[in-house]
Each structure stands twice: as C-alpha cells, then as structure tokens.
Amino acid sequence: MTSPVPRVLVIGGSDSGGGAGVEADVKTLTARRAYAAVAITALTIQDTEAVHDILPIPPAFVARAIRTALADPGADAVKIGMLGSEAILTAVAAALEGFAGPVVLDPVLRASVGTPLLPAEALAALRRVLIPRATLITPNVPEAEALGGFVIRDPADLREAAVSLLTLGVPAVLIKGGHLAGEEVTDVLATLDGVETFTAPRLSTRHTHGTGCTLASAIAAELARGVPLPAAVQRARAYLRRALAAAPGFGRGSGPLGHWADGAAAG
C-alpha cells in the first residue's frame, strides 16, 4: 500500500547547474506532489554547455544511503539515473534487494552535451545486474541503440527496438524518440501486454537539459501513487511538455526546464 504522499527514492548524480540529475528529480517530484529522498552516486560540475568534472561517491556510501532511505523515511518507488561506474551499479543493485515497489531506471550513458557518464565496459553489467531488477527502463534513442546493438531511424524502428529490449528481462520499456528528426516526437512503450505509442508535436526549444531525468521521475511519482503504467507515462509526458514550455531561458547552451509549470495542479 502506498503512503498518502507518495515517496520516491532518487538514485543518481548531482548536477551543480541544477538542470539535470537529482536536482531535476527533486524539482519534478516536488512539482508532482511527491516526497523525494536521494542517494547521490556522483558529484558533477556542469553548466548548460559542458560537464567539467565528475567526482564519484564511494559505492559503499551509496549503498548505505539507499538502505537508510528505504528504512526511513521509506519509499513507494525508486528512480535510478546516473550510475557512473560498474562498482556503483553493482552496489545499487545489491542495496535494492528486497525492495518490492516499482523501479524506474533511466539508463544514463551520456550527458545531453555528449560527455560519457557510464563506461562502455559497464554496459554488460547494466544489462545483467540492474535492468532485470527494474519495472521500467526509459532509454532515449542512442541509449536504446547501445543497449540493444541496433540502429533506430524512424518510429517503426522504435517499436521494434522497444519490443526487443524486453528480452533483457525488464517487464516494460519506454523508448523516447526525441533524437529522431521530424515535426512530431514519438515515444514507444512496450510491455508484456503489448505496445503503445505516444505522439505529440515537437516543441521548438534548445532548453532540454534534464528532460530524461524529469520524465523518469514524473513517471516514478505516478507509479508511487498507484497509477497504472500507461496512464503514468501519459501524465508524465504531459508534465514534461509543460515544463519544456515554461523553460526560463537560462544559459548559453541546453538550458534547464521550468519544473514549476504545474503551479498548484497535480493532475
């Protein structure tokens, strides 16, 4: 049973610029009327143009933070973002043993500016150790291609890739199609029950820093309050669009979103 205020434990890297990582997660969860606890995997120095430095957190410290948060204040769902290394990935998986709630895994492989955030040699461990532990994974197109070893060129490829990634042992896959060209953006949700497609007009903006974090956390908030997965995805996508439209225009590069877009609304 979920608590009256849904609780989400966020596991991921900290973005000093505030646009992505656990900062975006906490802003999203607060906007969606959920409580956020955090276990930070790495400290990053970044702005809207580049990731300037990364300081990993010791894996044992990350694992202890996870276990402590699960015990008190507790969690109705978990959202995982940047992991940074195979050692941290393995520690996270071990710390989540016994957690029975939904786990949303955003397999962050690169920052939006292109900086690698998970070594290529850790991909096998991600597939083997953590993805089967997740309820839902939310890769973008390059991440899905890296995980599955295929090329995605159009929405038909998105559908095929999403279904293919189910073979990794995860019950649901949401591939985000924003990297594909076109005036519309199509996301594909594949589950063991079938495939659902979500399409919307593309918003013309360069302020897209933290979109993946925001979407995954918004989905986690809905799952934490007991909303079925397709409806959770639909609500989260609608919130993301509002946050994109409300972007404050900060920075010279890929700027942050307007996570306050919902005001008093949580529906």
Residues carrying an active site annotation: 176, 208, 210-213
Q: What angle do CA 163, 164, 170 make, to 5 degrees?
A: 80
Contact 118, 84 (CB under 8 A): yes
DSSP track, the chain: ---SS-EEEEEEEEETTSSSHHHHHHHHHHHTT-EEEEEEEEEEEE-SS-EEEEEEPPHHHHHHHHHHHHHTT--SEEEE----SHHHHHHHHHHTTT--S-EEE----B-TTS-BSS-GGGHHHIIIIIGGG-SEE--BHHHHHHHHT----SHHHHHHHHHHHGGGS-SEEEEB-TTS-SSEEEEEEEETTEEEEEEEEPP--S--BTHHHHHHHHHHHHHHTT--HHHHHHHHHHHHHHHHHT----SSSSPBP-GGGGTT---
